[in-house]
């Protein structure tokens, strides 16, 4: 098992903020909109350095999405920022008509996705956004895993022409990816090569998958770990190549079992390759208040759960 | 253009509207006819449009519309008037109007950029979204030091959508004074008179309270009044406030039996009704 270590823990939203700071300095077309969550989105530096390119939109997300769409007409690259809940389910029709169907170069960049939002509870813990966004034609969906990857993804999103849903989170998590990484939209990252089981993870679950890989290694199991940061377009080639080798797969995501990364992988397998799949995902329920760690444990989104599902998947091999 | 010439264009556009809707037995003639005078006045008299011709001798269309005035139709269901005006203005062949709402057409039921029809800059139809888009486009113009204007038309029934009021508070807050918006006050919506379906009450007072500079065009189907009102609206731009024009129109204007009720909001005329409508509308530029 390839060794991954971390010296620092940071929130992925700060990776977004760092990406925006860099874009503010390098790309004059980039503009930012926010619905009263500037501090949470870590965009203070961008605003300080580029006040004329920032638009405070107040607690009015529907309007923000439309204004962002309009700003593209005139060549701007708007980042519409808020919490994931308010940047997806609350404004689905605005994103659908004014951004995706109209094919506008808007980046919907959202923080506090999933259970790790924590204490605010289920009203704010969106677990359905990947399903909604990946079902939209024209939409690219990205869910990076740590500070460095989020920063790189933010810059890649700005350089990509078309609507993007960029999803990140609130808590501090290990920083373990390369700070100078090349982020290619739609391209899987091979975290660890193995032969017994494929573990496909996105977002905060990637670090958990690495931990799970180490536990499995101690049991003599050689896990292949793949990071899918781009949920759509999905790197089906990388997935099929791996599962053809390992003959089973576990998908890991901070999202509902219905409609997310796991279902995207299942769709790929169903059409191409017969192999058992296990899901590490929230099983058709809402979240609740608690610390991020407590919630991830209670809802089975951690290394222990990945190990359990990996063993099950291996048992089920055809 | 003289008022008379603009009226002649409007007459042809009205013919196009009823013929398009008749051709596919679907679509929204009432609001289209009511807003004909406004949209003709905008595209043939008021708006600064790039007249450079491109492929096939049609106007060359550029999505960004740099140094051009832009128009956004928020109430997208009145697409027949939008399509006719765009075609008559030279964006595409008027013959294409015969494809309205038919399979494989660029003239979708509601306007869309998806089929790349020249002149369309946003999809609309799901109501309440156009004003937000127009604000964004106006802000982009400001960032680009582009002095041209942005226009946006909404329906009065559409004022019942919450997003309209999110946009209504944002435009004055951000001093979007290069924006002229319209509410088409025809008093009708699908289920009946607007005041019965969901009373908008005093829209003029509402927009004033939200910080708009509000003016009225009381005779929205009188070309001279429309042009006069639009000139006034233009004079009010650049003074720190967005402009809202309360435009009173008659749904179905120009076709007597389509006027005065919501009945023709989304109903197509049959052959006999088409003939009766066309008899009231002189063919001025040649039917498609």
Q: Where are the domains of chain A?
A: 9-174, 189-313
B182 burial via Cβ count (<10 Å: 0-12, 13-18, 19+): buried
Q: What does the mean pLDDT of chain A come to?
A: 98
H or E stretch at B72:
strand B70-73
Domain ranges, residue B190: 3-278
A9-174: CATH number:
3.40.50.970
Q: If you average pLDDT over residues B212-217, what whole number do you get?
A: 98
- Return the pLDDT at B260: 82
What would the mean pLDDT of A82-107 be, rounded to a whole number?
A: 98
What global pTM score does this model have?
Answer: 0.98
pLDDT value of position B200: 97
Q: Are A192 and A2 contacting, i.e. CB atoms less than 8 angstroms apart?
A: yes
Region A189-313: CATH code:
3.40.50.920
B145-174: average pLDDT = 98
Q: CA-nearest residue of chain A to B117?
A: A102
Active site residue A217: no
Q: Is A282 helix (H, G, I), strand (E, B) or coil?
A: strand
Residue B287: both structure tokens together: 């039917």
Q: B261 falls in which pLDDT band (50, 70, 90)?
A: confident
Least confident of A168-177, B10-19, B262-271: B262-271
User: B interface mutation test: which of A51, A59, A73 has the most B CBs within 10 A?
Assistant: A73
The tens digit of pLDDT for each residue in A244-278 reads 999 999 999 999 999 999 999 999 999 999 999 99
Q: Over range B127-140, report the average pLDDT.
A: 98
Mean pLDDT confidence for B205-221: 98
CB atoms inside a 10 Å sphere around CB A8? 11
- What pLDDT is stored for residue A199 in this prediction? 99
Cβ separation of B174 and A55 shorter than 8 Å? yes
Q: What is the model's pLDDT at position A221?
A: 98
A114 to A67, A110, A111, A309, B100: CA distances (angstroms): 26, 11, 9, 21, 44
Percentage above 90 pLDDT, chain B: 98
pLDDT for the residue B262: 87
Q: How far apart are CA A92 and CA B216, in angstroms?
A: 34
Asked if the Cβ–Cβ distance from A67 to B139 is below 8 Å, we say yes
Asked if the model's pLDDT at residue A283 lies above 90, the reply is yes
CB within 8 Å of chain B, chain A residues 21-80: 31, 52-53, 55, 57-58, 60, 62-76, 78
B129: tokens are 């979204």
Within this chain, domains A9-174 and A189-313 share the same CATH topology: yes
Q: Write out the residues of chain B at the interface with chain A, using a CB-CB cutoff of 8 A.
A: 63-66, 70, 72, 112-114, 121-126, 128-141, 143-144, 146, 162-163, 166-167, 169-170, 173-174
B285 located within any domain: no
Q: Token pair of A267, please?
A: 């769709």
> Is the Cβ–Cβ distance between B182 and B78 less than 8 Å?
no
CATH label of the domain that carries residue B72: 3.40.50.970
- Return all residues near B108 (Cβ < 8 A) that are at least 6 apart: B79, B101, B114, B115
Is the confidence at residue B44, as pLDDT, over 90? yes
Q: Helix, strand, coil proportions of chain A in percent (round to 5)?
A: 40, 20, 40
Residue B123 has what pLDDT? 98
- E-strand spans in chain A? 9-11, 30-34, 54-56, 77-83, 107-111, 140-142, 164-167, 172-174, 189-192, 197-201, 223-227, 230-232, 249-256, 277-282
Quick check: B25 pLDDT over 90? yes
Based on C-alpha coordinates, what's the Rg of chain A?
A: 19
Please count the helices (runs of H) and the strands (runs of E) in chain B.
Answer: 10, 7
Which residues of chain A have a CB within 8 Å of the CB of B146? 74
Number of domains in chain B: 1
Kindly give the interhelix angle for B3-24 and B223-235, rounded to the nearest 10 degrees: 110
């Amino acid at each position: 098992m390839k060794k991954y270590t971390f010296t620092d823990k940071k929130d992925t939203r700060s990776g977004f903020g760092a990406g925006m700071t860099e874009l503010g300095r390098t790309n004059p077309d980039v503009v930012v909109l926010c619905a009263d969550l500037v501090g949470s989105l870590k965009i203070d530096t961008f605003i300080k350095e580029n006040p004329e390119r920032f638009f405070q939109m107040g607690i009015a997300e529907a309007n923000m999405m439309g204004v962002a769409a309009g700003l593209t007409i005139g060549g701007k690259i708007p980042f519409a920022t808020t919490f994931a809940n308010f940047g997806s389910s609350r404004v689905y029709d605005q994103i659908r008509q004014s951004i995706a169907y109209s094919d506008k170069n808007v980046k919907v960049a959202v923080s506090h996705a999933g259970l790790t939002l924590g204490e605010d509870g289920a009203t704010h813990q969106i677990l359905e956004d990947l399903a909604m966004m990946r079902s939209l034609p024209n939409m690219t969906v990205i869910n990076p895993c740590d500070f460095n990857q989020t920063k790189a993804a933010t810059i890649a999103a700005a350089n990509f022409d078309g609507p993007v849903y960029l999803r990140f989170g609130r808590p501090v998590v290990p920083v373990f990816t390369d700070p100078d990484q090349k982020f290619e939209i739609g391209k899987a990252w091979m975290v660890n090569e193995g032969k017994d089981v494929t573990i496909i993870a996105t977002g905060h679950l990637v670090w958990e998958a690495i931990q799970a890989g180490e536990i499995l290694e101690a049991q003599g199991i050689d896990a292949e770990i793949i990071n899918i940061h781009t949920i759509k377009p999905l790197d089906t080639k990388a997935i099929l190549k791996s599962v053809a080798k390992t003959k089973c797969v576990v998908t890991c995501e901070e999202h509902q079992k219905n409609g997310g990364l796991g279902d995207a992988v299942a769709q790929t397998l169903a059409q191409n390759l017969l192999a058992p799949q296990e899901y590490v995902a929230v099983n058709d329920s809402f979240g609740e208040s608690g610390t991020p760690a407590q919630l991830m444990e209670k809802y089975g989104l951690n290394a222990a759960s990945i190990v359990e599902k990996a063993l099950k998947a291996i048992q089920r091999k055809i | 253009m003289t008022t008379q010439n603009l009226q002649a264009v409007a007459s042809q556009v009205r013919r196009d509207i009823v013929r398009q809707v008749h051709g596919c037995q679907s679509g929204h003639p009432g609001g289209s006819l009511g807003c004909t005078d406004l949209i003709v006045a905008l595209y043939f008299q008021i708006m600064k449009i790039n007249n450079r011709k491109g492929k096939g001798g049609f106007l060359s269309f550029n999505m960004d519309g740099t140094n051009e005035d832009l128009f956004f139709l928020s109430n997208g269901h009145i697409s027949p008037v939008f399509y006719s005006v765009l075609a008559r203005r030279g964006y595409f062949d008027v013959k294409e109007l015969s494809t309205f709402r038919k399979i494989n057409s660029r003239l979708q039921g509601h306007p869309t950029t998806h089929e790349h029809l020249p002149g369309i800059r946003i999809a609309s139809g799901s109501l309440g979204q156009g004003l937000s888009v127009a604000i964004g486009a106006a802000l982009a113009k400001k960032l680009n030091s582009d002095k041209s204007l942005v226009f946006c038309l909404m329906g009065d029934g559409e004022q019942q959508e919450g997003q309209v009021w999110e946009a209504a508070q944002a435009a004055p807050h951000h001093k979007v004074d290069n924006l002229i918006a319209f509410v088409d006050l025809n008093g009708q919506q699908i289920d009946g008179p607007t005041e019965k379906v969901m009373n908008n009450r005093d829209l003029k007072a509402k927009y004033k309270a939200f910080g708009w500079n509000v003016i009225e065009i009381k005779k929205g189907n009188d070309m001279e009044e429309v042009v006069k009102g639009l000139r006034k609206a233009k004079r009010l731009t650049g003074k720190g406030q967005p402009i809202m024009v309360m435009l009173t129109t008659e749904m179905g204007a120009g076709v007597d039996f389509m006027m005065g009720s919501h009945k023709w909001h989304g109903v197509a005329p049959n052959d006999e009704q088409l003939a009766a409508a066309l008899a009231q509308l002189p063919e001025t530029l040649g039917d498609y």
